[in-house]
Amino acid sequence: MSETAAASAEMHHTSTGLPNRKLLMWAFIGSECMLFGSLIITYLVYRGRSIVGPYPEELLNIPFITVTTFVLLMSSLTMVLALAAVQRNDMRQGKLWLLMTALLGLVFLSGQVYEFSHFVHEGLGLTTNLFGASFFLLTGTHGAHVFVGVIWLTTLFVLAVRGKLTSANAETVEITGLYWHFVDVVWIVLFTIIYLLV
Amino acid sequence: MRHPWRPLKSALPIFAIVALTGLLSGCGGPFPQSALRPASDFATSLDDLFRGIFFWAVIVFVLVEGALLVAVFRFRDREGKRDVKHVHGNTILEISWTLAPALILVLIAVPTIRTIWEVDRPTTDPDALLIEAVGRQWWWEFRYPEFGIVTANEIHVPVGRTIDIRLTSADVIHSFWFPRAGGKRDVIPGHENQLWFKMDSVGVFPGQCAEFCGMSHALMKMEMVSESAEDFEAWVALQQQPALGTGDTAPPAEPQEVGAGEEMPEPRADPLDAELRAVLDAGNQAFLGSGCIACHRIEGTVAAGVLGPDLTHVGSRRKIAAGILDNTPENMANWLRDPSALKPGSLMPTLNLDEDTIRTLVAYLESLK
Amino acid sequence: MSVTEASHDTAGMTAVHEGTYSGGLWSWVTTVDHKRIGIMYAVFAFFFFLVGGLEALLIRIQLGSPESTLIDPDLYNQLFTMHGTTMVFLAVMPLSAAFFNFMVPLQIGARDVAFPRLNAFSLWVFVFGAFFLNSSFLFGGAPDAGWFGYANLTSTQYSPGVRIDFWVLGLQILGVSSIAAALNFIVTIINLRAPGMSLMRMPLFTWMTFVTSFLLILAFPAITVGLVLLMFDRTFGTAFFNPAAGGDVLLWQHLFWIFGHPEVYILLLPGLGIISEVIPTFSRKPLFGYPFVVYSGILIAFLGFGVWAHHMFAVGLGPIGNTVFSATTMLIAIPTGVKIFNWIATMWGGSLRLKTPLYFAVGFIAMFIIGGLSGVMHSSAAADLQQTDSYFVVAHIHYVLFGGVIFALFSGIYYWFPKITGKMLSERIGKAHFWLMLIAFNLTFFPQHYLGMHGMPRRTFTYQEGLGFEAMNLMSTIGSLVLGFSILIFLWNVLHSLRKGESAGPDPWGGATLEWAIASPPPHYNFRVEPAVHSRDPLWSEGGLDVDVNDPAAPEPHMPSPSLWPCILAFGLVVVAIGAVAKTLPVVLAGAGVVVVAIYGWAFQPLER
Amino acid sequence: MENSVTEHDHASVKTYLVVAAVLGIITAVEVAIFYIDALRPVLVPLLLTLSAAKFTLVVSFFMHLKYDSKIFRGLFVGPLAVAVLIILAMLALFGVFGGGGGAA
């Protein structure tokens, strides 16, 4: 990933002085706003329109999801710590925080898997009602983003272990971080909309 | 300068074709389904609005296309390059050609909004005649709760009375459109929509589904018979009667209220001649025996299906197969032979009836006036 | 196309451009050169333009006479669905993309786009997706629920089989292509401009590409979500659009048009950009009111996100909704008008060279005015109750998208063909093409205004006798056949001119923008020396460019190496789609495997060897 | 106005820790509010405000938008604004429907 824009960066010092790939990631995040926006529209439009149960208030476990939410928030912290470490070429710390971030992401995902299977056990499947369909689709799409992030972070971690990730690649870590934080930010919104505003 | 008029000459065909197209486009009448021939208050207010907008559109069209043509002809270079002043812009011009269209838009927006608030709200007329229209692939069901009438593809309305139509769909999205009675309104499963108008002239007005709804969308037509109050009452009375020849198999219908007494067309005591009686009996048997009753209903018989059109008075209708065929014995026979040949994708299956059965069925159905 | 070829291009521009398109098929499959990618976009898009045109002709032939039985409704519904889908997604958008690709880097003085391999990926995803979508004709029939695919007609209950699945997955794939390309152009335009080219010195076409790219990345996610909901309904049995289980079919319409209306501007804005290039060049006069033309483009795009429900005036939004969406829609007429006035003002006082590109540009303005005015008629929610879903709307969209966009794209083709190929298109044939197309276009579509107002609904495979539709439909059908013929004239022009056309030279039109400073076709690195820009019209201003951008003494720039990974990744995506249509999990997994391998292969392959 | 592009003008590790602590606290407060019946009437605006605060903190500090180029800010805030406006418009449209169409 680290080489993607090398050539163009070489032919031109870019007109704005900003890295191409970072612009790409921000523009992509802009696009993702509309993706999650449309999913949120779907969820909210169908709120309270299920004609059979189980209904959200019977199932949502606020204390449990608060814990996984906190885990995801903390993974954002470890992510910035990883970036700061890589930027000052402290790869020992860099590796540690990259791994921590990936692990916290995994914890969040496990929480989601547990939650999903609990719901299914309680009788809420994808096709049970509109709540089930829109809930699983919205949180599932977010979970898929977390999953991709975990793979990405793991790849960086492996590169770092092999000594192929140094402060020269700080930009790559920064871009990974932008993605990761965005996924976190989306969860902040979903946590409020789905769980607290039932 | 060998061809001073060449550009103009080469532009002549376009003027010719525009003029010709405009002229020819108008022809072909008489346009029984035209939105430009309003026959109700609703259609008239939309037409007035459209004409107002059209007026402004013509003015803008002439001015802007004119400016374009003048620019092209006046500034085309004749002998090579002409001296050109490199003007980069003019703020006053920019402001004025921002404001001018804005002004025209205000002149369009005001009547638009007024009309929206006039036609997009429920009717306030307490005397409105309520009709329920149900869109189905690919025919229309109409119910008159006030009279207990159910019919299909043919809607009768009294002239001068507000008609309040409630629209629902039994399957996919359709759109209810009688252009001469007014604008269209979508017929959406899971929603009830509403439309109201008051017809101002007597006549038969064609309409059809305006939202793509599958295979035979083009064949989902209907007719509106707008008639005088007396004619309408007579029609209602006729429709309220049980079907012909069913009087002896079913208890007599409830007493008729709507002034039906004076012209009871077909008294039920048995003045029917023996021939007709035989046809009715045979047809009735065929009808009951051929699976028709699974989908169709004939008041007063055991046929009580709800998927297909109510046939209680099918013989009285002007058209069959959702407005695409005149209601003649030949067409009816063709329809019974193979519905899908006339209306591809029709939910009515091919029944593989023998010709004798078809003949009796046709005679029976056509007798259901 | 690598460093080793440097030896033989010291002779100057002619020697260099021989090599621009050389190399076998493999070099085209693996290319990351924006010019080759642009050409491939153009060729495939034009192919699908012909396919969509053929579908249109079949539609018109069927409607040439009342109650015609030439084409049965089943086929007709496939044809009109695929005509719309093809023209929007497989013809006009990729034709615009062809110009983005070829022209934007040249216009901003760059050697390529910011992400050359991502660019190749966009191309191949489009190509594979397009063939995937059209392959449905061979497997049980093409999609037949309209290009708008209104729920719940698209549910398994009313559309069993795989037709709709092809449509859903095909559009998802094409969305990936569009978003990837748009992200690429956003970064390219922000970051690869030559020194001195501030945003307000960018050529208008580049500006409109920039704006269109934002529309793409913001509009497509809405339909992506809509399509996912539909896919879930069809594949897993959810009830997003099933009214019986509480689902709301109108949600589909909203999501579709939140995408669909910006999509209209995605189709239109590149055309407006082309016109804003052609008119100044052939008027020998800078664009009048440059900032107003730029800002009006941005405003059109922004307002484009606030008008979607004007496609739904008949669904019963209620008076408040209809009033709001009427008002926002009317607002769009203002910036659109500003553009038209500025184009006319650009010609005013100029010295117009009446060459084919200008013919098409003027034809565009003339037709676009008509389309714009009928658009204002639709914007009135109440008046629109008679027009919506009638042939009046068919006439309107064709005046905007054919009279507008296609005329603009042809203007662009005649304008830039010399730059792309090094050969001039024949003026004589070009003007014949123009006149025939203009006349046939009006003959085809003008009567449809009347048809609509006289009560002919759209998307109908036939009409009954006696409604007065016969003469105008016949006229329209005759027009469409002539229109098809005019496209053949154009094809002949291209083939003829490629062989026998005059040599173009670097700047046949006396253009003002950077693409005219280099050879035609441009060398693979475009600018040997990076240009420095001091004004909006660099080649027209005193002193021009500071440097000789073609200086043969300068070292040859390094360019990115070819890569097969983008093509493989695109292929993997289509395999996933094939597996999904066939409901065969192993194929889906195999495709996903290819995708993963290709992502890693791509990520770890150096851009330059 | 922040200074635009100075390389690595990022927050310090200490800032990150403080932001993370604030994020944790706000989350705790949100959940607490959820369980306090007295706050029911203002629950929605309160929770939306708090969640917007968390959103802003992560975006400005962890994603460095506070320190970074205005171009990045534009690329994010523009689309975000379009998305939020469309969400609000859709809720308004379906709110109207909830009264009318739902009753059918």
pLDDT digits (tens, 9 = 90+) for B14-35: 666 666 666 665 566 789 999 9
**C218 near D CB under 8 A:** yes
Same domain, C497 and C593: no
pLDDT tier at B245 (50, 70, 90 boundaries)? low
**What single DSSP character describes residue B222?**
E
Q: Give me the catalytic one of C111, C339, C378, C419.
A: C339
Check if C158 is active-site. Answer: no
H or E element in which residue B139 lies:
strand B139-144
Burial of C317: CB neighbours in 10 Å, binned 0-12, 13-18, 19+: buried
Check if C353 is active-site. Answer: no
Which residue shows structure tokens 């209620």? Answer: C318
Out of C333, C383, C388, the one facing B101 most closely (by C-beta) is C333
- How confident is the model at residue B8, as a pLDDT? 54
**A130 near D CB under 8 A:** no
Containing domain of residue B255, as a range? 242-367
Check if C112 is active-site. Answer: yes
pLDDT tier at A169 (50, 70, 90 boundaries)? very high
The average pLDDT across C577-588 equals 95
Same domain, C349 and C438: yes
- D99 pLDDT higher than 70: no
Using one digit for the tens of pLDDT, what is the confidence trace for A105-116? 999 999 999 999
Q: Give me the catalytic one of C163, C458, C528, C536.
A: C458
State the smallest CA–CA distance between residue C221 and chain D in angstroms.
Answer: 10
Same domain, C14 and C152: yes
Q: Which residues does A12 contact at the CB level (< 8 Å), separation at least 6?
A: C110, C111, C191, C192, C194, C530
Q: ∠ CA(C409), CA(C410), CA(C415), 5° rounding? A: 95
Same domain, C576 and C536: no
| Collapsed DSSP state (helix, strand, coil) of residue C206 | helix
Same domain, B163 and B249: no
Q: ∠ CA(C483), CA(C485), CA(C488), 5° rounding? A: 120
Domain borders along chain A are: 6-196
**B267 near D CB under 8 A:** no
d(CA B318, CA B204): 10
- DSSP-assigned letters across all residues of B251-276: PPPPPP-SSGGGG-SS-SSS-S-HHH
- A163 pLDDT higher than 60: yes
State the smallest CA–CA distance between residue C65 and chain D in angstroms.
Answer: 41
SS (H, E, C) A53-120: CCCHHHHCCHHHHHHHHHHHHHHHHHHHHHHHHHHCCCHHHHHHHHHHHHHHHHHHHHHHHHHHHHHH
pLDDT tier at C382 (50, 70, 90 boundaries)? very high
Same domain, C338 and C389: yes
In a domain, C99, yes or no: yes
- How confident is the model at residue B289, as a pLDDT? 82
d(CA C457, CA C448): 11
| Collapsed DSSP state (helix, strand, coil) of residue C457 | strand
User: Judged by CB atoms within 8 Å, which residues 240-299 of B form the interface with C?
Assistant: none
d(CA C303, CA C339): 15
C455 neighbors C524 (Cβ within 8 angstroms): no
Q: Which residues of B touch D94 (CB under 8 A)?
A: none
The region of weakest confidence among B59-68, C2-11, C86-95, C567-576 is C2-11
Q: ∠ CA(C249), CA(C252), CA(C258), 5° rounding? A: 145
In a domain, B3, yes or no: no
Q: Which of B209, B35, B221 is nearest to C384 (CA)?
A: B35
- B250 pLDDT higher than 80: no
Containing domain of residue C603, as a range? 563-609
- How confident is the model at residue B24, as a pLDDT? 62
**What single DSSP character describes residue C503?**
B
d(CA C141, CA B307): 28
| Length, in residues, of chain D | 104
d(CA C240, CA C232): 8
Using one digit for the tens of pLDDT, what is the confidence trace for C212-227? 999 999 999 999 999 9
Same domain, C449 and C596: no
Q: Which of C459, C494, C466 is nearest to C82 (CA)?
A: C459
Q: Which of C316, C393, C449 is nearest to B34 (CA)?
A: C449
SS (H, E, C) B272-338: CCHHHHHHHHHHHHHHHHCCHHHCCECCCCCCECCCCCECCCHHHCCEECCCCEECCHHHHHHHHHC
C522 neighbors C106 (Cβ within 8 angstroms): yes
Contact state of D101 with B192 under an 8 Å Cβ cutoff: yes
Contact state of B28 with C388 under an 8 Å Cβ cutoff: no
- B265 pLDDT higher than 80: no
Q: Chain A: which residues have CB within 8 Å of chain C?
A: 1, 3-8, 10-12, 14-16, 18, 20, 23-24, 27-28, 30-32, 34-35, 37-39, 41-42, 45-46, 49-51, 126-127, 129-130, 133-134, 137
Strands B319-320 and B325-326, sheet pairing: antiparallel
Check if C503 is active-site. Answer: no
Query: For the CA atoms of chain B, what is the radius of gyration?
Result: 29
The average pLDDT across C35-59 equals 97
Using one digit for the tens of pLDDT, what is the confidence trace for B140-179? 999 999 999 999 999 999 999 999 999 999 999 999 999 9
Task: Select the residue from D14, D25, D51, D97 to test the A interface by mutation, using most A Cβ atoms within 10 A.
Answer: D51
**B170 near C CB under 8 A:** no
Same domain, C473 and C530: yes
Q: Which residue has the higher pLDDT, B95 or D7?
A: B95
Task: Select the residue from A14, A21, A22, A24 to test the C interface by mutation, using most C Cβ atoms within 10 A.
Answer: A24
State the smallest CA–CA distance between residue B193 and chain D in angstroms.
Answer: 8
- How confident is the model at residue D38, as a pLDDT? 87
Nearest residue in chain D measured CA to CA from A63: D31
Structure tokens at A19: 């890295």
pLDDT tier at D102 (50, 70, 90 boundaries)? very low
Chain-centre distance of CA B122, in angstroms? 21
The region of weakest confidence among A51-60, B191-200, C234-243, C272-281 is A51-60
Contact state of B210 with C326 under an 8 Å Cβ cutoff: no
- pTM beyond 0.90: the answer is yes
State the smallest CA–CA distance between residue D85 and chain C in angstroms.
Answer: 9
Contact state of C191 with A16 under an 8 Å Cβ cutoff: yes
**If phi over 0 gives left and psi between -120 and 50 gives alpha, with beta otherwise, what is residue B182?**
left
Question: Is D touching B (3+ C-beta pairs, cut-off 8 A)?
Answer: yes
CATH number at residue B279: 2.60.40.420
- How confident is the model at residue B290, as a pLDDT? 80
Same domain, B137 and B156: yes
Structure tokens at A159: 């590169």
The average pLDDT across A188-195 equals 95
How many of the other CB atoms lie within 10 Å of CB of B325? 18
Q: Give me the catalytic one of C21, C41, C124, C265.
A: C265
| Collapsed DSSP state (helix, strand, coil) of residue C202 | coil
Percent of chain C surpassing pLDDT 70: 97
C52 neighbors C484 (Cβ within 8 angstroms): no
d(CA C358, CA C486): 18
**What single DSSP character describes residue A136?**
H
Task: Select the residue from C250, C265, C322 to test the D interface by mutation, using most D Cβ atoms within 10 A.
Answer: C250
What separation in angstroms does the CA of B209 have from each of B205, C105, C316, C457, C459?
Answer: 14, 50, 16, 8, 11
d(CA B52, CA B50): 5
Same domain, C415 and C534: yes
Q: Which of C367, C354, C460 is nearest to C68 (CA)?
A: C460
Phi, psi of B157 (to 5 degrees): -135, 145
Residue C375 bridge partners (DSSP): none
**A168 near D CB under 8 A:** no
Size of interface C-D (CB pairs under 8 A): 30
Task: Select the residue from D70, D73, D97 to test the C interface by mutation, using most C Cβ atoms within 10 A.
Answer: D97
B224 neighbors B157 (Cβ within 8 angstroms): yes
Out of D75, D79, D96, the one facing C320 most closely (by C-beta) is D96
Contact state of A36 with D91 under an 8 Å Cβ cutoff: no
**What single DSSP character describes residue B76?**
B
In a domain, B273, yes or no: yes
**C264 near A CB under 8 A:** no
Q: Which chains touch B (3 or more CB pairs under 8 A)?
A: C, D
**B121 near D CB under 8 A:** no
Contact state of A197 with D10 under an 8 Å Cβ cutoff: no
What separation in angstroms does the CA of C591 have from each of C166, C403, C572, C575, C595?
Answer: 16, 41, 5, 5, 6
The average pLDDT across C125-137 equals 97
Using one digit for the tens of pLDDT, what is the confidence trace for B95-117? 999 999 999 999 999 999 999 99
Domain count, chain C: 2
Out of B17, B32, B101, the one facing C439 most closely (by C-beta) is B17
Same domain, C581 and C465: no
Same domain, B342 and B249: yes
Q: Specify the CATH class of A6-196 in words.
A: mainly alpha
Same domain, C558 and C574: no
d(CA C355, CA C344): 17
Q: Which of D20, D29, C604 is nearest to A100 (CA)?
A: D20
- How confident is the model at residue B246, as a pLDDT? 57
pLDDT tier at D44 (50, 70, 90 boundaries)? confident
What separation in angstroms does the CA of B246 have from each of B242, B298, B302, C371, C545?
Answer: 7, 9, 10, 59, 96
- C12 pLDDT higher than 50: no
| Last-in-domain residue among B191, B215, B237 | B237
**A69 near D CB under 8 A:** yes
CATH number at residue C210: 1.20.210.10
Check if C276 is active-site. Answer: yes
Domain count, chain B: 2
Same domain, B272 and B347: yes
B280 neighbors B364 (Cβ within 8 angstroms): yes
| Collapsed DSSP state (helix, strand, coil) of residue B197 | strand
Same domain, C248 and C377: yes
pLDDT tier at B288 (50, 70, 90 boundaries)? confident
| Collapsed DSSP state (helix, strand, coil) of residue B164 | strand
What separation in angstroms does the CA of C169 have from each of A187, C163, C172, C249?
Answer: 28, 10, 5, 20
d(CA C475, CA D20): 71
Same domain, B252 and B350: yes
When the pLDDT of each residue in chain B is averaged and rounded to a whole number, the result is 86
pLDDT tier at A7 (50, 70, 90 boundaries)? very low
Nearest residue in chain B measured CA to CA from D104: B192
Same domain, C556 and C570: no
